[in-house]
Structure 1
Amino acid sequence: MTEHVIVVDLGYGDAGKGTVVDWLCAQGPVGAVVRFNGGGQAAHNVVLPDGRHHTFAQFGSGTFRGVPTHLSRFMIVDPLALASEAAHLGGLGVPDPFGLLTVDREALLATPYHMAAGRARELARGEDRHGSCGMGIGETMAYALDHPGLAPTAGDCESPARLARKLHAVREALSVAGPPVEDCVAAYRAFAERVTLVDSSFVTGLLGRQPVVFEGAQGVLLDEWHGFHPYTTWSTTTFANALALLDGAPAVRLGVLRTYTTRHGPGPLVTEDPTLELPEAHNGTGPWQGPFRAGHFDAVAHRYALAAAGGADALALTHLDVPVSRMCVSYDIGELPVGTAGDLDRQARLTERLLKARPRYVENVDDWPPAVADALGVPVCLGSFGPTAADKSRLSSVITPERV
């Protein structure tokens, strides 16, 4: 590690960002892992060679390596979920997880009231559910947009009176049941005493000391503006937030992909193949996300993700140990055009087209890194043949696309 690195999933999530971040941190030295989008709905699995396993949600995936985590102003912080995660990490031998954590005071808080409102909204959609992790992320963002200045933030945890006023306002506006506000204030005050709350200038200091890994959540194909509406997240999942935090400092943009394409819950998955029986130790059907779905590698969708994200400098390719051999190289509807950010009506129309698209395949792919590099026009620099850092390797010579 000699440069800052931004790790972004170029699919629908679950490509292996956590295990890639763990590997990067194992190379050292890394000053911090910075989370720059999403919140407690992330599920980044890291497995150590001794078998210890943790699904990282808000703590950075370098925590096992002793690398500190910074939750930036773009994060949605759930202090109650953080406490549970810290307890699990402590049980796995991480001393004082909260001592490794800094939190930007401007980061929004996800509360039990946001969670209850989000779950109620998703249930009310019936058969037309959009897909949700049930953590209140979308409701937290929507409330902040509708009530600027009233949305609770991490900094409010230092002021019990101000926090209580905001929590009462959230509960009243969302008209939901939940724990007493006083209980939430006490828990959030304890959170503020355990972590270090900082201002946005903190990242500048981090960048000047050692290389930093920026760990993204979800995937570009779920992006709030460029994903396939309405089956998206309320979060910018591209490199954009990390680049804003870098403020002009250079960084390697690393895209992560599997050798097959997956997603949780409803929405387009053009290459879906129910006959695929692939090992998924850490993914399955969830009560809110819905079923875990798998399909063949979708070069068309991943080219779209690259275009929406403004390109990438290199790729990490995971699941190279899985016996798959089919790649979708085109659709019957052609390539997917990237539109102007914010035009959700256009994205909804694109989704309708995509739901009817049919894939065209090449068969018998037996050497995935060069095939992916050629299909996407981006070099593949890291290969993963299993869940641990020991299963990762820099490719002996970077696999570059033939067209570049």
Structure 2
Amino acid sequence: MHVIVVDLGFGDCGKGTVVDHLCATREVHTVVRFNGGAQAAHTVVLADGRQHTFAQFGAGTLRPGVRTHLSRFMVVDPLALVAEAEHLIALGVHDVWQRLTVDRRALVATPYHREANRAKELARGADRHGSCGMGVGETMAYALSHDDDAPRVGDCADPPVLRRKLTALRARLGVGGPPVEDCVRAFAAFAATVPIVDGMRFDDGPCVFEGAQGVLLDEWHGFHPYTTWSTTTFANAEELLDGAPAFRLGVLRTVTTRHGAGPLVTEDPSLGITDPNNPANPWQGAFRVGHFDAVAHRYALEVCGGVDGLALTHLDLPVSRMCTGYGGVRLVPGPPGDLTRQEATTRSLAGAEPRYAEVRDWVTAVEDTLGAPVVVESWGPTAEDKKSADRLTS
């Protein structure tokens, strides 16, 4: 059976390590990326010490034979993809390019999108939205305004079309960056290396659909304006599957975290928990940690239509508090697209007062509170540190 992996927090719950575990313990043909772009940071650690932080390649790539497909919902950054491939090759994945396919309809993130993205975020000053600075949101915004002129993966194989689109893009955004001709050459080389396809069939073997970021950052259901330009629920994966069955797996960690600006009701710096894979950076800012926020995670479950099971990571952390209420503030899903309502919800969280319960058994507490079974338990960074329920690994 196919499995769709979605983060039920603000990201960084451990999707990559869960995907790697699935690829290590069951037959997986392809990992399909179905949202986001090169801003993903899914760290996988193998038992032999090899480690890679996946951005665009699927997090099962360190497992022999597991393929990656970048779907039409991805924002593909060819230059970043080359850099990532080089690191994977250095780790011994010498056939990494042969195991990749890319949908020709996927949008392309360029250095010009990145320049515009960073300029806008800097201009916000203290009111930053928490962008990763990779140009993904700017790529999506440009496509909404200029769909016919938005560079797509298929254009990389057609230099005259690509040149025209990049020239118009750079002029409209009013940014610097490398000469257009340099980008045309680099993207043409990418197109000559990677199989560019018209979609993908999912009947060659079980697939794992790997989401990026988290449901609480969803473009329509997240806490606006501190959101992503991406649908982070199961919706894109299910559209790709077109009715084929799949197990819906939601990922959580025993603390609720957020990298960057925006509400984090249970934030508690005294926890003293850091994440070496998520250091502070000039664009997102600090990596923030709070107690497990069952209120926010219940909201995420509601807006994505529930799950078949949960993966609970970081069970090895010495934490024992769960937020079960906000002292009168309620999180109620609204209709998709009502960003005015979502912004009002964000403002309401400023007055939320978390109410806590002590936790002795995390698996039981999460199952009882969220009403879904924990089918993957993660007690450390490697696949060997995890255990899965039989119905998920079969």
Same fold (TM over 0.5): yes
Counterparts in 2 of 1:166 and 1:380: CA distance versus 1, 3 Å: same
C-alpha separation in 2, matches of 1:26 and 1:121: 41
Q: CA deviation at 1:287?
A: 1.1
Counterparts in 2 of 1:396 and 1:368: CA distance versus 1, 3 Å: farther
Aligned residues: 391
C-alpha separation in 2, matches of 1:332 and 1:396: 39
Q: Deviations over 1:253-285 (max 9, x none)?
A: 000000010001110000000101124231121
Q: Deviations over 1:266-308 (max 9, x none)?
A: 1000000010112423112111011000000000000000001
Which of 363, 387, 390 does residue 393 from structure 1 map onto?
A: 387
Q: Percent of counterpart pairs with the same letter?
A: 67
> Equivalent residues in 2 for 1:84-123 (5 A)?
84-123=83-122
Is contact 2:274–2:287 with CA below 8 Å preserved after alignment?
no
> Equivalent residues in 2 for 1:349-364 (5 A)?
349-363=344-358
Q: Is 2:273 the partner of 1:254?
A: no
Q: CA deviation at 1:334?
A: 3.8
Q: CA deviation at 1:333?
A: 2.6
Runs of 4+ aligned structure 1 residues displaced above 4 Å come to: 395-398
Q: Is 2:234 the partner of 1:236?
A: no
Segments of structure 2 that go 5 or more residues without pairing to the other structure are none
C-alpha separation in 2, matches of 1:334 and 1:133: 30
> Equivalent residues in 2 for 1:205-220 (5 A)?
205=201, 207-220=202-215
Q: Is 2:357 the partner of 1:367?
A: no
C-alpha separation in 2, matches of 1:386 and 1:104: 34
Task: Show the counterpart of 1:315.
Answer: 310
Q: Deviations over 1:170-196 (max 9, x none)?
A: 000000001011100100011011110
C-alpha separation in 1, matches of 2:160 and 2:391: 59
C-alpha separation in 1, matches of 2:129 and 2:250: 25
With structure 2 as the length reference, what TM-score do the two structures score? 0.98
Is contact 2:329–2:349 with CA below 8 Å preserved after alignment?
no
Matched residue SS, 1:54: strand
Task: Show the counterpart of 2:376.
Answer: 382
Give the letter aligned to residue 357 of structure 2. Answer: V
Task: Show the counterpart of 2:171.
Answer: 172
Superposition CA RMSD, Å: 1.1
Give the letter aligned to residue 6 of structure 1. Answer: I
Is contact 2:329–2:348 with CA below 8 Å preserved after alignment?
no
Which of 282, 285, 289 does residue 294 from structure 1 map onto?
A: 289
Q: CA deviation at 1:28?
A: 2.8
Give the letter aligned to residue 328 of structure 2. Answer: I
> Equivalent residues in 2 for 1:131-170 (5 A)?
131-170=130-169
Q: CA deviation at 1:149?
A: 0.8
Give the letter aligned to residue 75 of structure 1. Answer: M
Q: CA deviation at 1:96?
A: 2.8
Report which stretch shifted further, 27-36 or 249-258. 27-36
With structure 1 as the length reference, what TM-score do the two structures score? 0.95
Task: Show the counterpart of 2:221.
Answer: 226
Segments of structure 1 that go 5 or more residues without pairing to the other structure are 399-404
Counterparts in 2 of 1:395 and 1:368: CA distance versus 1, 3 Å: farther
C-alpha separation in 1, matches of 2:376 and 2:33: 21
